[in-house]
Copies of this chain bind each other. A is one copy, B any other.
Amino acid sequence: MAASRKPTAKDEPNRRAEIVRAASRLFAEKGYAATPIRDIARAVDMQSGSPFYHFKTKHDMLKAVALEGIASISRAVSKAAERGDTPRATFEAMLLAHLEQLLGDDGRHFAATLLHESHHLDPAALAELIEQKDAYEALWQKALRELKRSGEIADDSRVTRLLLMGALNWTVQWYRPNGGRTVKQIARQISGMLLKSR
């Protein structure tokens, strides 16, 4: 898995992205504070000081991971939200997109870092992240509003949204691929729990 040749500065076009990817995996698995930069460097075949050529501080790495995490979830769910023709179909497409980002191979470590390690960010970076997160959650608030208008949900308050986010985001803690249930089945079960008609 690790390339044994010695990379040089001109070698890869985007070493920075590789670092972010490796960092996301290690932050997700061992936590930000418990991950030495040396481990991230080794994961991308660098020497221990070299990541600092791409990032000024370790915090900047975390910031990059967290922002990329919320950005790709946001992108995927926005796109899904455009496709539904009914409030219910829209909602179900959004559920599926959100879960695919959280549980899929590509975004899983970004999402886990975003959800569990963001509190290590400095206040400025945290504020930036919260701004993105608020914009993202507004998509859900809108979807809930339309479900209420069409009579498929009784309450579209902020608390409802937060409880829904909890049910979704908590899947990161227990979902295992090859664990019997597909992501699509879980999405369907959530909509079955929340929506009235069938």
Chain A interfacial positions (CB closer than 8 Å to B): 31-34, 116, 119-120, 154-155, 157, 159-160, 162-171, 173-174, 181, 185-186, 189-190, 192-194
Q: Is the CB of A171 within 8 A of B162?
A: yes
CA distance A120 to B190 in the complex (A): 30
CA distance A174 to B137 in the complex (A): 13
Q: A163-B189, A170-B165, A171-B166 are in contact. Are A120 and B31 (CB under 8 A)?
A: yes
Chain B contacts for A159, CB-based, 8 A: 181, 185-186, 189
Q: Is the CB of B171 within 8 A of A168?
A: no
CA distance A116 to B117 in the complex (A): 10
CA distance A168 to B173 in the complex (A): 13
List 7 A-B residue pairs with CB atoms under 8 Å apart, sorted by A's residue number: A31-B33, A31-B119, A34-B120, A160-B189, A162-B174, A166-B166, A166-B167
Partner of A155, one of B162, B170, B193: B193
Chain B contacts for A173, CB-based, 8 A: 166
**Which are the 5 A-B pairs with shortest beta-carbon distances?**
A166-B170, A33-B33, A33-B34, A163-B167, A166-B167
| Most chain B beta-carbon neighbours within 10 Å: one of A32, A120, A170, A192 | A170
CA distance A116 to B32 in the complex (A): 13
